[in-house]
Amino acid sequence: MAPGARTVLLLGGSTEATQLARLVAASGDIELTVSFAGRTAERAPMPEGVSVRVGGFGGSAGLQRHLETTAVDALVDATHPFSSRMPFHAATAADAAGRPRLRVLRRPWVTQAGDRWTVVSSVAEAAAAVDASGAGPVLLTIGRQELAPFAGCTSAQLVVRCIEAPEPGVLDGAQIILARGPFTVEDEIALLRRHHIELVVSKNAGGPATEAKLAAARRLGLPVVMIERPPAPDGPTVATAAEAMAWLDAALLERVSR
């Protein structure tokens, strides 16, 4: 580590977090720790020299103590776009500790000509929309953590695609497909046809890794139930790792010059 290196805590969980970790590691003058919540067993490998921690901090108060006791110079929240609590904990903790903070939040998907979206504000609303749709086989692409509300959709055949298998007892009657993006449009069309899918359920995560399912649904004229992102705290926000790196350079330079 170069003399005068500054310390950054990066809250991971997104593709952008991995990209930013690589940019920071390449800079050579920032001591970086990437923190993961621990919900996912498989994580992208971090570059050499980047420290990794797994587990929570104990709410905003615990995170504030961590920022202060480990002399963190800046906090970057690059958790998943559907992380609902951690962004608020990060904002509260950084402000209380007097540390500069940034949220890295990729841009959401937007409707295009030919899309048939029903936009809902929660997973529970999505499950209600599925139950009311009367659709045949339904493809759920919302991960494995929030499948329970769909247990009440007894009239629909559910096909769940996720990276890791759901916990036993959660949607035991559903067909599970384990797969990790990115996916091609052609592959997604083949999947939808193979399972005779009539409705797709998705979270509006944004990004290219799983966007192909929306193009496939558009081509096949299939409806999509799209779950909106949860509320986010006010504060500086960028959409890409490159923008985050530029922000870090400026924020750390400002702290050095104080």
Number of H helices, E strands in the chain: 7, 12
Domain count of the fold of the chain: 2
Q: Kindly state whether residues 98 and 124 are assigned to the same domain.
A: no
pTM to 2 decimal places: 0.89
Residue 1 counted as domain residue:
no
Distance CA 42, CA 34 (A): 15
- Note whether 180 and 218 are same-domain residues: yes
The enclosing domain of 20 has a CATH number of 3.40.50.720
Here the tokens at position 219 are 């081509």
pLDDT (tens, 9 = 90+) of the chain, 258 residues, equals 444 569 999 999 999 999 999 999 998 889 999 999 866 656 678 888 899 999 999 999 999 999 999 999 999 999 999 999 999 999 999 999 999 999 999 999 999 999 999 999 999 999 999 999 988 899 999 999 999 999 988 888 999 999 999 988 889 889 999 998 889 999 999 999 999 999 999 999 999 989 999 999 999 999 999 999 999 999 999 999 999 999 999 999 876 555
User: Using CB atoms within 10 A of its CB, is residue 225 exposed (0-12), middle (13-18) or buried (19+)?
Assistant: buried
Residue 22 is part of which domain span? 6-107+231-257
As a whole number of angstroms, the distance between CA 124 and CA 128 comes to: 6
| Residue 215, in any domain of the structure | yes
Q: E strands, the chain, where?
A: 6-11, 30-36, 51-54, 74-77, 101-104, 117-120, 138-141, 158-162, 175-178, 199-203, 224-227, 237-238
Which two three-digit tokens encode residue 64? Answer: 């504030």
